[in-house]
């Protein structure tokens, strides 16, 4: 089949599910931090697939685990248990502070947040869910309702009871005091709005500890502690969605540990399956117990599937055996230093931010006005791809233009430096 035939068939038979065009390459194979196209060209994958291939593509331990498991135990009736499921639940609980001991295994991030929100509703008796205006939690009903608006344009109203507050963004602050981001005032104002809008039925606040799709926006130091207090004062649960930040990527096992504030419910997905569909909801005995007593039901087709659980167990074991939290910190420092150097050479790099191996750079037309450089960003993405680096750009209409970088934890120093060189070169070429 020729390349032209491939694209003709793709155009004829695929439903286009994103706002963007498909990446213009036929990917035949992936290994480690690279994907290879039909012409044999190696492309560095600094998005880890869809932010999931935490251990690089086709990691030998995962390949071995899938091959071994699939010929032995694949999929079971939803309420039938197997060892990999119970072992993974215990292994995850072991990586977490006590109080996060109960685990349910599902397939996708949206699903895990859906389940977490249902549990928060049952436990609190409320139905209102609050989130940040730049959050991404999925495309399903409740998770989608807590996700930024442009992802659900055209489908009518979302679930009643969804409230949003502004994302605290140090680069684009709403309030400043003495030239610094005054996030405390922002948060107080936001919750004053929540209290005014609420019908007195608050169930949960759902958040990513670093808003990734929203533009790699870290919550300011102290924010999570203050947010947790706001939740407690109102009898709401705090749900943290660590789809991207969980399992060592940011240099800690979980991003919430950076501030030492544990959520009431934690959801994991992307990184947990390291590229295969696996997600988890994790909570306390108390919440599990009230939910069960009140009839909690989440019997999906792939709940507690042994094959996916075996993969998750391998991921946790590989992370532990290689102390990948430390690796993420070291590689993250190298990436950060490289990006800061690039910033020193390119006026369009307005901000460098992130933690560990989740870094972002915000592109602006000039640093004074901080005007988003949308077209420039698009052209740089394309130039990077042509030079052999796949990067993801997140663009919010009328707001910002940010490159997201999350290479696998197995990336070598040389690969990291090659990616940085390509980015530098692409910025130079496009700036002309």
Q: Which of 96-104, 148-156, 241-249, 411-419 is the region at the interface with ligand PMP (rule: CB under 6 A)? A: 241-249
Q: Which of 102-110, 293-301, 308-316, 396-404 is the region at the interface with ligand PMP (rule: CB under 6 A)? A: 102-110
Closer residue to ligand PMP, CB minimum distance, 208 or 288: 208
Chain residue at closest Cβ approach to ligand PMP: 109
CB of 107 to ligand PMP, least distance (A): 8
**Whole-number CA gyration radius for the chain:** 22
Widest CA span in the chain: 65
Closest Cα to residue 214, out of 174, 256, 194, 244?
A: 244
Query: 396: exposed, middle or buried (C-beta count within 10 Å: 0-12, 13-18, 19+)?
Result: middle
Query: 348: exposed, middle or buried (C-beta count within 10 Å: 0-12, 13-18, 19+)?
Result: buried
CB of 110 to ligand PMP, least distance (A): 3
Q: Which of 189-197, 207-215, 303-311, 322-330 is the region at the interface with ligand PMP (rule: CB under 6 A)? A: 207-215
How many angstroms separate the CA atoms of 272 and 59, rounded?
14
Positions in 117-156 near ligand PMP (CB under 6 A): 136-138
CB of 183 to ligand PMP, least distance (A): 21
Half-sphere exposure of 144 (CA within 13 A, CB side): 12
Site string for ligand PMP, 269-288 (x = CB under 6 A): x-------------------
CB atoms inside a 10 Å sphere around CB 163: 18
CB of 177 to ligand PMP, least distance (A): 30
Phi, psi of 23 (to 5 degrees): -65, 130
CB 184 within 8 A of CB 173: no
Contacts 24+ apart (CB under 8 A), 30-36: 30/57, 30/58, 31/56, 31/57, 31/58, 32/56, 32/57, 32/58, 32/408, 32/410, 32/411, 32/415, 33/57, 33/407, 33/408, 33/410, 33/411, 33/412, 33/415, 34/415, 35/390
How many angstroms separate the CA atoms of 100 and 87, rounded?
15
How many angstroms separate the CA atoms of 113 and 311, rounded?
21
Among residues 213, 271, 327, 395, which is the contact residue for ligand PMP, using CB under 6 A?
213
How many angstroms separate the CA atoms of 151 and 429, rounded?
32
Closer residue to ligand PMP, CB minimum distance, 167 or 269: 269
Q: Is 212 in the site for ligand PMP (CB under 6 A)?
A: yes
Q: Is 244 in the site for ligand PMP (CB under 6 A)?
A: yes
Q: Which of 178-186, 236-244, 328-336, 418-426 is the region at the interface with ligand PMP (rule: CB under 6 A)? A: 236-244
Query: 317: exposed, middle or buried (C-beta count within 10 Å: 0-12, 13-18, 19+)?
Result: middle
Helix (H) or strand (E) holding 250: none
Closer residue to ligand PMP, CB minimum distance, 253 or 346: 253
Q: Which of 90-98, 206-214, 222-230, 347-355 is the region at the interface with ligand PMP (rule: CB under 6 A)? A: 206-214
Positions in 393-432 near ligand PMP (CB under 6 A): none
How many angstroms separate the CA atoms of 153 and 86, rounded?
40
Q: Is 110 in the site for ligand PMP (CB under 6 A)?
A: yes
CB of 407 to ligand PMP, least distance (A): 16
CB atoms inside a 10 Å sphere around CB 94: 10
Closer residue to ligand PMP, CB minimum distance, 167 or 343: 167
Phi, psi of 326 (to 5 degrees): -65, -40
How many chain residues touch ligand PMP (CB under 6 A)?
A: 14
CB of 300 to ligand PMP, least distance (A): 13
Q: Which of 1-9, 105-113, 158-166, 222-230 is the region at the interface with ligand PMP (rule: CB under 6 A)? A: 105-113
Q: Is 253 in the site for ligand PMP (CB under 6 A)?
A: no
Closer residue to ligand PMP, CB minimum distance, 186 or 208: 208
Closer residue to ligand PMP, CB minimum distance, 208 or 264: 208
Q: Is 243 in the site for ligand PMP (CB under 6 A)?
A: yes
Closer residue to ligand PMP, CB minimum distance, 49 or 166: 49
Among residues 34, 186, 218, 241, which is the contact residue for ligand PMP, using CB under 6 A?
241
Q: Is 355 in the site for ligand PMP (CB under 6 A)?
A: no
Closest Cα to residue 311, out of 61, 51, 47, 30?
A: 61
Closer residue to ligand PMP, CB minimum distance, 88 or 146: 146
Give DSSP secondary structure letters for 405-428.
Answer: E---TT--HHHHHHHHHHHHHHHH
Instruction: Give the footprint of ligand PMP on this chain (CB under 6 A).
Output: 108-110, 113, 136-138, 208, 212-213, 241, 243-244, 269
């Amino acid at each position: 089949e020729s390349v032209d035939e491939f694209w003709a068939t793709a155009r004829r038979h695929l439903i286009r599910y994103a706002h963007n065009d498909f990446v213009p390459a036929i990917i035949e194979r992936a290994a480690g931090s690279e994907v290879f196209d039909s012409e044999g060209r190696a492309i560095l994958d600094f998005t880890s697939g869809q932010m999931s291939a935490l251990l690089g593509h086709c990691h030998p331990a995962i390949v071995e685990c899938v091959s071994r498991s699939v010929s032995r135990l694949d999929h079971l009736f939803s309420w039938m248990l197997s060892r990999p499921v119970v072992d993974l639940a215990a292994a995850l609980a072991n990586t977490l502070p006590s109080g996060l001991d109960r685990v349910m295994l599902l397939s996708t991030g949206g699903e895990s947040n859906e389940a977490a929100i249902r549990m928060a509703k049952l436990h609190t008796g409320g139905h209102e869910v609050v989130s940040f205006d730049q959050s991404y939690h999925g495309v399903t009903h409740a998770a989608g309702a807590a996700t930024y608006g442009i992802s659900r344009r055209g489908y009518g109203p979302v679930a009643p009871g969804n409230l949003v507050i502004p994302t605290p963004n140090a680069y684009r602050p709403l309030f400043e005091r003495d030239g610094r981001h005054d996030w405390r005032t922002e948060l107080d104002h936001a919750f004053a709005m929540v209290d005014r809008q609420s019908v007195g039925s608050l169930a949960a606040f759902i958040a990513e500890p670093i808003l990734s799709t929203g533009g790699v926006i870290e919550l300011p130091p102290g924010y999570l502690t203050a947010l947790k207090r706001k939740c407690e004062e109102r009898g709401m649960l705090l749900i943290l969605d660590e789809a991207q930040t969980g399992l060592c990527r940011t240099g800690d096992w979980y991003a919430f540990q950076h501030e030492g504030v544990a959520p009431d419910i934690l959801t994991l997905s992307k990184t947990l399956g390291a590229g295969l569909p696996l997600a988890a909801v994790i909570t306390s005995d108390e919440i599990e117990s009230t939910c069960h007593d009140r009839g909690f039901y989440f019997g999906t087709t792939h709940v507690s599937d042994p094959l996916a659980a075996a993969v998750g167990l391998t991921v946790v074991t590989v992370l532990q055996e290689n102390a990948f939290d430390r690796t993420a910190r070291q590689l993250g420092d190298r990436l950060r230093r490289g990006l800061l150097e690039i910033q020193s050479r390119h006026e369009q790099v307005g901000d460098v931010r992130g933690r560990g191996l989740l870094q972002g750079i915000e592109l602006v037309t000039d640093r004074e006005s901080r005007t988003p450089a949308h077209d420039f960003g698009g052209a740089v993405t394309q130039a990077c791809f042509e030079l052999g680096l796949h990067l993801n750009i997140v663009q919010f209409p009328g707001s910002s233009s940010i490159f997201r970088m999350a290479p696998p934890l197995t990336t070598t120093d040389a690969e990291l430096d090659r990616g940085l060189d390509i980015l530098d070169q692409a910025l130079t070429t496009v700036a002309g």
